[in-house]
Amino acid sequence: MEIIDGLAFYNAFPLAELEVGQHLYWHIGNLKVHGQVFITSWVVIAILVIASIAATRNVQRIPSGLQNFMEYALEFLRDLAKNQIGEKEYRPWVPFVGTLFLFIFVANWSGALVPWKLIELPEGELAAPTSDINTTVAFALLTSLAYFYAGLSKKGLGYFAGYAQPTPILLPFKVLEDFTKPLSLSFRLFGNILADELVVAVLVLLVPLFVPLPVMALGLFTSAIQALIFATLAAAYIGEAMEDHH
């Protein structure tokens, strides 16, 4: 009893307090959605839609300006899908792979360039959508559904026969791989973007003038690399699902 009373005495005078997980939630009926992620995701979608409309509003035979940039981005994404999926099968998957890359790229850069924290919310604070595990898990699960659909649409139920090739011993490992793929995709993207935002926030707090600038520039580079890695791996998984096993 004396030990319990002593603990109660110290709890009456806390030396520090830390709250983790403050978020803005919207209640739609019995559904609770993450308002912070929706707001920043809508901003990213709006940027992509406005850029697409502006680039295609007055299409020229000799592109220039924003049209030239968007055509370069499209050619880059088409080559990425072709290299990973294959020349015969890549065309239907360019929109999916391209959407993943562009959304993640703009979302990552928004976390580094947009001062979200200046916008005050009743609870929590705004940040890049990809710094939230819900967004990255959703993208990873969409990628899993995509490569299952790709394999089943091409091979039918024979797709699952590839789990036992070249030897049935690999069956449990390939089943386990289907669970580890979305985990690795989601946690890699989430961890890198969240870590970058935390490092910049700490440096701005400690040394608010010039030291954080190189870290922010490095964050822009790593953010672009993370978008490229996610899109490349998604395309590679789709190509692997449609690959013939002979």
d(CA 232, CA 219): 20
pLDDT at 161: 77
Please tell me which residue, 210 or 49, carries the higher pLDDT value. Answer: 49
Q: According to DSSP H, which parts of 14-114 are helical?
A: 35-56, 65-85, 94-113
166 — phi, psi (to 5°)? -80, -5
In one-letter notation, the amino acid at residue 102 is L
The predicted-structure confidence for 9-23, as pLDDT tens digits, reads as follows 434 444 333 334 567
Nearest to 110 by CA among 98, 127, 133: 127
Please tell me which residue, 240 or 168, carries the higher pLDDT value. Answer: 240
Q: Is 238 exposed, middle or buried (0-12, 13-18, 19+ CB in 10 A)?
A: buried
Give the model's confidence band at 2: pLDDT under 50 very low, under 70 low, under 90 confident, else very high: very low
| pLDDT tops 70 at residue 246 | no
pLDDT at 230: 94
Taking residues 114-140, what's their average pLDDT? 82
Nearest to 182 by CA among 147, 221, 210: 147
The predicted-structure confidence for 147-201, as pLDDT tens digits, reads as follows 999 988 888 887 787 777 777 787 788 788 888 888 889 999 988 888 877 777 7
Please tell me which residue, 204 or 32, carries the higher pLDDT value. Answer: 32
Taking residues 88-100, what's their average pLDDT? 92
Q: Is the pTM of this model over 0.85?
A: no
Average pLDDT, the chain: 81
Give the model's confidence band at 104: pLDDT under 50 very low, under 70 low, under 90 confident, else very high: very high
The predicted-structure confidence for 202-233, as pLDDT tens digits, reads as follows 777 777 666 667 777 777 888 899 999 999 99
Contacts of 113 (CB under 8 A, 6+ apart): 220
